[in-house]
Structure 1
Amino acid sequence: MKFMYRGRHKQSGLVVILFTIALTVLLGFAALAIDVNHVVLNKSRIQNGVDAAALAGAVVADAGESQAKIATAVLQTIKNYSALDGNSDITVDQDVSFGEGSLTVKLSDEGTLRIQFSNDPTSFPGTIGSNDDTYVRVEVTDVALDSFLIGILGIGKSVSATAVAGPSSSVEQTCNLVPMAACAVDGDDSTNGGYVVGQEQELKSTSWKDNEIQSPGNFGLLDFLDDHSLLRDHLAGGYKGCLNIGDDIGVKPGGSVGNVAKGLNTRFNDDSSEEYPSDKWIGEGSYSDYEAGLASQTPASNYIADGELYRRTLQIPIIDCSKGSGSGNNYSAPVVTIGCFFMKKPAPTNNSGDEGVIAEFRPNCLVNNASFGQTPSDSGAYKIQLYKDPLGSGA
């Protein structure tokens, strides 16, 4: 009996040892799972912040600002993102004065921020010229995270992320267009419709007889939804529908002088609102005058501090009028491309014989919503978008 008792005692001790070992292994796996999930969560968070920062920097770059201002916009975006609820592991709160070429800084959480530029989204770093598209690469590395159970093993945790952003290629489908049309100079030119940079164009004629769309009653207006009551909002920028290159599109008969002026002239601080803001510069003149006015901000009455850049550049369909068919309400013509036309002055408010809507052709313009091809292009309507980072695994 004593022998049997000692055997059971030994077995009981072995079970305790095996249970302790198993519990230790299970706790180790639990610790690893908690810390891995923590890393994955914060990897996603830092990637979102870096994506937003790259897009913000690309928007500033697209406005022609200096590298220092672009870098400041990138850092400010990351700071704003780190301050959001749930992002306490990504702490960025310092101010940095960037100089040209000094674009790598240590973040307050021991991470590193690096900003690079190129005129080619597939190659960084690269050179950029004054007339080149600018692509911005943002890299944040070694953002330290708190270690939980895995810290017992002396193992630290950190996350990194990269993103590249810049202008897209020209449009294949465009949304948020302005309901006006220009006849193509060359219907076979799918990029510019035969227009050259700086060419002046009357987008809406004072008389339909003088309009390039040779159809009775047509002044160069479009009515995307066949609802004339929406024309004013659509001209102000409220059209949400989309248009494919090559589609046939109809025109809206009638001059609609009042609605045209009330819609387009929101860009000149006339009845502008938060939804349809004024441009930042409302002085009359060419695009070069516009740029000079923005730079000098004088006279102050022409500078709208809370305005939105490039609101005076209209994204409108260029149609092949030589292939138009029908008449009046039934007229339609195929869309060759999307043109970018800068309004040189406000639209006339009455039928006193003033000229129509006078604009200057621009090589490119920013649109809010569109689908694009894969190869970047330096002409036509475009948007700011993310690209795959050629140096890493960013978006």
Structure 2
Amino acid sequence: MFTIHKVLNQNKDKHHQGGNVLVLFVISLLALLTLASLALDGGHLLLNKGRLQNLVDAAALHAAKELDSGATRAQAETAAINLLQVNLAHTDQQELSRAIDLADIDETSTAVLSFEYSIDADPFLAVADPDAKFVKISLTQLSLDNFLANVFSFNKRVSATALAGPSTAIENCFTNLVPMAVCGTGNTTPFGLIHNSLYMMKIGSNTESAIGAGNFQLIRLENNSGAADIRTAMAGEDNIVKTCFTTGSDNESVPTEPGNSVGPVAQGLNTRMGFWNGPVNADEHPRDENICQGQKIEVADIEVDGVINSEALAEAYATKAYRASWYVDDNNKAIPSCTPPTAGLTANPQEDNFSHVLPASPGRRIMNVVIAKCDGETNGANNLDFLGVGCFFLTQKVEHKGQESYVIGEFIYDCSGGGNATLEPVDTPGPYKMVLYHVPGSTDS
């Protein structure tokens, strides 16, 4: 009897153990499903969060660049939305494309997209001031596809915010300068120059120098010396060694290059206009796509008693100059053509005014030029105070004659450039670039 009772108790214990194993198996299975859901849906969430952040970062930078170029808010927002649509069209963005509805965009926002503007990056205070150049773009609460998250009643949503705007003046080192200096002043922005106005970037032999005797507004870039270096720099070859300048009063960091250097200057710059003479060629130094020119601005048009006259330059701009704004508009026409100034156009005898095929290259007529402080008494090889760098549009080709070897350009803007920007934006003159800023209060921008 004892043996039979013992066997029955053992069978009963086995049934209890089997029930416990089943419970443990179910709990383990649920735990595995939970972990699988976290791994699968969590990874999917993080992947799309990163993709969305990249989209918004690019859109914010693009909008900030458009604002900096003079666009209205509506134009900047349209440009940002267009870029979003282009990026969303990529195959790896299909899920985000389904979640983002850009079909009904107005000037301020949609259900998922919003634009805000501020005078400063931090604190970011949304304002209606049209001068606010810091733009914040938000894409919020986008629903993503679920894999196992539905089992736990969890709906995945993702948001992203980006803030972009101009940096402060970057480190003043360059590899893309032309070796000329325009005279400016340091007490007004930008450097005392007027946007969309003509300036003499280099004088001819019979014009009084604003720098001093023996100087024709040429400067010496780092490790450059002689005619060959001037020619290649004017033609747009990057300088192997950076040229750096210091800032502040009495910095004397811009070395002058005495002499007229008629041939090297004309040979180098004229490659941008479709003329190749001397040891330069179209393959290494392509022309601009757009080489439209107005009637030649003669030195007699802009001088009064041997001195460059600002009123005469303004008159030449109004009647003879092919303008930078026309350059942009003409480039964007369905069928490119030259907008004629009042005095008419000068046809390029070598080629058509437009060419969108190699070796033509866009933007060659836009040049980075040093702006320096001139006192008229800096004679021979000497140094000028560095003020900044401006972007100038090359108005016309340069002649190979001494008194006519002057270079005229239109000041467009205080140009952006490469280098290392500081994190705190300050309204100071100098080259700058569009950068992303941390969004105040955000944990992931």
On whether the aligned pair clears a TM of 0.5, the verdict is yes
Q: Report the residue type matching 2:95 in the other structure.
A: D
Provide the residue aligned with 1:105 in structure 2. 110
Per the alignment, do residues 375 and 209 of structure 1 end up closer, same or farther by CA in structure 2, a change over 3 Å counting? same
Check conservation: 1:315, 1:381, Cα contact below 8 A. no
Q: Deviations over 1:265-298 (max 9, x none)?
A: 4655668999774569755754997366469759
Aligned letter for 1:15?
V
Give matches, 1:1-395, under 5 Å. Answer: 1-2=6-7, 3-91=9-97, 96=103, 102-106=107-111, 112-122=112-122, 123-129=124-130, 132=131, 134-182=133-181, 189=186, 195-197=192-194, 201-207=199-205, 210-214=208-212, 220-226=218-224, 229=228, 231-239=230-238, 241=242, 243-246=244-247, 248-252=253-257, 255-265=260-270, 268=273, 277-278=288-289, 283=294, 286=317, 290=323, 293=326, 300-302=337-339, 312=365, 314-319=367-372, 331=381, 333=383, 335-340=385-390, 342-343=392-393, 345-351=395-401, 353-354=403-404, 356-359=406-409, 364-373=413-422, 374-377=424-427, 379-390=429-440, 392-393=442-443, 395=445
SS in 2 for 1:366: coil
- Return the offset for 1:369: 0.7
CA distance in 1, matches of 2:48, 2:10: 57
Q: CA 1:209/1:233 → structure 2, altered by over 3 Å: closer, same or farther?
A: same
CA shift in 2, pair 1:236/1:57, >3 Å: farther
Higher strand share: 1
Does the 8 Å CA contact 1:264/1:346 hold for their aligned counterparts? no
C-alpha displacement of 1:337: 2.3
Distance of aligned partners of 1:268 and 1:134 in 2 relative to their CA distance in 1, 3 Å threshold: farther
Q: Secondary structure of 2:338's partner? A: helix
CA spacing shift, 1:80–1:305, aligned 2, 3 Å: farther
How many Å separate the matches in 1 of 2:435 and 2:182?
A: 30
Specify whether residues 67 and 140 from structure 1 end up closer, same or farther in structure 2 by C-alpha distance, changes over 3 A only: same
The structure number with the bigger radius of gyration is: 2
Closer, same or farther in 2 for the Cα pair 1:323/1:261, shift >3 Å?
closer
Q: What is the aligned-residue RMSD (CA, Å)?
A: 4.2
SS for the counterpart of 1:147 is: coil
CA distance in 2, matches of 1:295, 1:361: 14
1:196-222: per-residue Cα shift (whole Å, max 9, x none)? 436864322323995455475765143
- Residue pair 1:324, 1:332 contacting (<8 A) in 2 also: no
- Cα distance in 2 for partners of 1:295, 1:179 equals 21
In the superposition, the TM-score normalised over structure 2's length comes to 0.69
5+ residue gaps in structure 2? 1-5, 277-281, 296-315, 341-353
Given that 2:163 and 2:436 are in contact with CA atoms closer than 8 Å, whether structure 1 keeps it comes out as yes
**Cα separation, partners in 2 of 1:155 and 1:275, compared to 1, 3 Å:** farther
* Contact preservation (8 Å) 1:192, 1:380: no
Deviations 1:287-324 (A, max 9, x none): 99736646975993249697999865543333456799
Q: 1:209 to 1:237 in 2, by over 3 A?
A: same
Query: Which region of structure 1 is more displaced relative to structure 2, 30-39 or 288-297?
Result: 288-297
Residue type at the aligned position of 1:368: G
Offset at 1:4?
Answer: 2.3
Aligned-partner residue type, residue 400 of structure 2? N
Q: Distance in 2 between the 1:275 and 1:26 partners?
A: 64
Distance between the aligned counterparts of 2:104 and 2:317, measured in 1?
35
Deviation per CA, 1:101-141: give whole Å up to 9, x if none.
x33235xxxxx111233444343431233xx3533221111
What displacement does 1:350 show?
Answer: 0.7
Secondary structure at the aligned position of 1:104 is classed as: coil
- Residue aligned with 2:140, SS: strand
**TM-score for the superposition, normalised by structure 1:** 0.76
What is the alpha-carbon distance in structure 1 between the residues aligned to residue 376 and residue 13 of structure 2? Answer: 101
Measured after TM superposition, the shift of residue 59 of structure 1 is 2.1
Q: More displaced, 50-59 or 375-384?
A: 375-384
CA contact (8 A) 2:176 2:238 kept: yes
CA-CA distance at 1:194 after TM superposition = 6.0
Identity %: 24
Question: In structure 2, the residue corresponding to 1:146 is in which secondary structure?
Answer: coil
Question: 2:438 and 2:287 mapped to 1: Cα distance?
Answer: 33
